[in-house]
Every structure is written in structure tokens, then in C-alpha cells.
Amino acid sequence: MASEPLPYARPRPGTQPPVLYPDYASTQKRAPKRAPLRLEHTLSETTGPVFEDGWAGPDSTDLTRQHKGAPLGERMILAGRILDEDGRPLAGTLVELWQCNSAGRYHHPVDQHDAPLDPNFTGAGQAVTNAAGEYRFLTIKPGAYPWRNSPNAWRPAHIHLAVFGPAFVTRLNTQMYFPGDPLLAYDPIFQSTADAQARERLIAQYDPALSEPEWALGYRWDMVLRGRAATPLDPA
């Protein structure tokens, strides 16, 4: 008999955001109303794209040296590991990153916020994790910016990250936030996850050991992807 693919764990209640979260107004017309159909995982779910061979192109991990000059803002290192729920590092997985500049403006035609563009900052990078599941970017700290979700709403400073992991069901698209940001308390996107411990996962830690003297502040941020539902027994 063929062995069954080992399924991935389902999220524990409250640890992921719901599709409908009315405080984030854009969910109201985009959240499905029918309950999704539960499907036990097959090979279609437990496999996924492989990026170890450089297919996604070269790493681009220094966002401060993509133009002639240096971007304005506070230089920072963002580094961490990508782990599964059992704490195992995920090597060879693609991490895609994007963010606004230090004034809170994206290098994107749709962003019309009245803050300056920085000709020396695009705000995009990518990396494939090493054998220890580690990634590392050098960038500048993004600014907060207003959005039209509700009157006088401001997004806390954040960096977008998208990660694949080993399977199609381990895909994670998320945002990293900064410790102590007073805007977090008012941000419906951050607050959409009910479980406070899960929300804490979204906040990087300042790490003096990661900071480089006279150069850049260090923030450490691990991302945890779904793991297997059951740990397989090691062969004797």
C-alpha cells in the first residue's frame, strides 16, 4: 500500500486572522461567505515549489545599495530564522520582502501619500534561507503612513514578508512590526488575530548583539510556519 502523505497541522483557534474582520474595511466585500470545504491533505497540499537551486534569481538582501546614493533613514538589519512548529529550521526556502521608505511612502504608482519618494530606495529584496534556516536583510526602518480605512488611521511601521516553506499549505504572507510601536493598539490588521501570543509573533525584538557599531540597528525576527500534524516516529 502506498504511504499516505503526512498532513500539516491545522491552525489552533484564534491564532490566525479570520477572513471577515469588519474593522479592516476591505475585508467586507472580499471575505467569502460560505464556509470553506475541508480537505484532508493529499500530495497536492504536502508538496510545493522548490527554490534551492536559484530559480527565483539571485538573493538581494542589501536594500541600501540598490541605487547610486544611500537611502535616507535609520539603517537596520533584519535577521532571523524560519522554523516549523516543531522548531525545525527550514532551509532553502524563498523569502520575499517589500516595504515603504523612511518617510512612509512606497515606491509604487498607487501610493499617493504626500510624503517624499526616496530616489535611492526601492524597498524590495529577496533571500533563500541557508542550511540553518536563517535569512538576513540590510534595509532602512520604514515609516508609518496614513490609510483610508477609517478617519485619521495610520499603519504602524511594518515590513512585508512572504515565505513558502516546504509545501503549498505552508505559505505565509505576513508583516513584521517594531517593538513598542504605539500604533499597534489601533491597527486592525495587527489586531485581527485574536490570540495575543500569536500576535506577539509579529513583533521583532531589538537585539543589541545583532546591531553593528556605528552602522545599523539589529532586529531579530523568526517566522514560524505550519508544521506536521503528527511527528513521525524515527526509524529504529
107 binds another protein (CB under 8 A): yes
59 binds another protein (CB under 8 A): no
For residue 230, count CB atoms less than 10 angstroms from its CB and return exposed for 0-12, middle for 13-18, buried for 19 or more.
exposed
Whose CA is closest to 163, among 218, 78, 226? 226
- Least spacing, CB of residue 30 vs another protein, in Å: 4
Q: Which is nearer to another protein, 47 or 130 (CB)?
A: 47
19 binds another protein (CB under 8 A): yes
Backbone angles phi, psi at 159, to 5 degrees: -125, 130
46 binds another protein (CB under 8 A): yes
| Site pattern 73..102 for another protein (x: CB under 8 A) | ----------xxxxx--------xxx-x--
| Stretch (H or E) spanning 134 | strand 134-140
Q: How many residues make contact with another protein (CB under 8 A)?
A: 89
Cα(164)–Cα(52) distance, rounded to whole angstroms? 12
Question: According to CB under 8 A, which residues from 173 to 212 bind another protein?
Answer: 173-175, 189-190, 192-193, 195, 197-199, 201-202
- Least spacing, CB of residue 227 vs another protein, in Å: 7
Cα(44)–Cα(96) distance, rounded to whole angstroms? 23
Q: Which is nearer to another protein, 24 or 219 (CB)?
A: 24
Instruction: Give yes or no for a contact between 143 and 100, defined as CB atoms under 8 angstroms apart.
Output: yes
Chain mean position to CA 226: 14
Piece of 66-74, 122-130, 134-142, 212-220 that binds another protein (CB under 8 A): 122-130
Residues forming the active site: 106, 145, 155, 158, 160
